[in-house]
Amino acid sequence: MSRPQEPQRSFFHFGNPFRSPKGSHLPPGLLSLLDKFEKTLSERLQKLVPKDKSDILSLSWMKLAMESLSEIHRDIKDLITELEIPVTDWDEKWIDVYLDISVKLLDITIAFTSELTRLNQGHLLLQCVLHKLESNSPDQFLRACSSLHSWREQIRSKNPRVETCRPVLDNLVESLDLPKVRNSAKGKVLMHAMYGAKVATTYICSVFAAAFSSSTDNLLDLNSTVPATLPWAQVFYNVQTTVSTEIKNIFSRGEFTVLRELLAVDNWANKLYPLLQDGFSPAQEESFKHSVSELRKTAEELSQGLDNLSKVVDDFFKIVLSGRDALLCNLRAGCASPNSVLGRNTDEQIVR
């Protein structure tokens, strides 16, 4: 996705906004707003550390992670409204940051949606397999075996869109070096808050990219990038260490994917495949029926999980797009209404 008729402007060299203490020269009211945002950010990040590590990279955990991102971006919109910074007063550098980040997030979200759609299409093959297995015909069993083989090949294939995520992630990391704000207390608060939102977004997007590409090459380590003095830093360190360690552990076992529901289906498919290919004796009939039953159960859980995750990924896309569109609209119109800066209450239908 490309930016609509906007000049390319680099902002990576403007400096780090954290070279001075957070509270220096900030009025109490603004400091309170920033503290509120950062406390909420810590709480949202903390939710991503499950009691049971085996929940990490389940589709329900990924859904929670994407919902957390949507909430963080809504928090940014609310903060901008509370700061009462009309869009006409925005520094050009801030606009650069917001527009450049948003277009990268749209790009990477489209890649995620592409992979979720591809995985969901595999469910049709599984349904075909299960339908053929309802028959006792040897011919139907052979056809089911062929469809199951096609499914196994499909889920192990690479998605070109996901393979292009790494350059986008690298750009997001570079853009963590946000503009230095000199003469605006409200601008300092905004840049601090946007930094926190960007760190959370960049890392979670890297987790999704690693999961969908079946490669730890896309998994980012941002610990050295995040100053330990930030109130949410320790929570973030804990999230990154816990999640990244578990992902690497799964891949170290030689698994082709870290998506737990997909692994569950694949495990039962692997048990069923030789029985369909080579045939089974009467003594193996109960084992065969059990494998079919478990394949049906895990396939439905996978399909439901993919549907639920697709919805929240789409919601995140809409949040990013509506904020971007509202900012561009306000820039063109010179709108100074703080309540419309980033499109609050935007419910228009987004078509991709």
For the stretch 246-286, pLDDT in tens is 999 988 988 889 999 999 999 999 999 998 888 888 888 89
Residue 220 covered by a domain: yes
Residue 337 covered by a domain: no
Tell me how many degrees the CA angle 54-167-251 measures, rounded to the nearest 5. 25
**Range in 25-29, 299-303, 319-323, 345-349 the model is least confident about:** 345-349
Does residue 309 have a pLDDT over 90?
yes
- Residue 284: per-residue pLDDT: 86
Residue 237 covered by a domain: yes
Residue 336 covered by a domain: no
DSSP element (H, E) containing 166:
helix 165-174
Answer yes or no: are the C-beta atoms of 29 and 222 closer than 8 Å: no
Say how many domains are in the chain. 1
Confidence category of residue 334, pLDDT binned at 50, 70, 90: low
Residue 340 covered by a domain: no
pLDDT tens digits for range 163-215: 889 999 999 998 887 667 777 888 889 889 999 999 999 999 999 999 999 88
Query: Any idea how long the chain is?
Result: 352
Residue 22 covered by a domain: no
- Residue 224: per-residue pLDDT: 87
Q: Give the separation between CA 178 and CA 47, rounded to whole angstroms.
A: 27
Q: How many CA atoms lie within 13 A of 153 on its CB side?
A: 6
Domain region containing 275: 28-329
- Residue 191: per-residue pLDDT: 87
pTM: 0.85
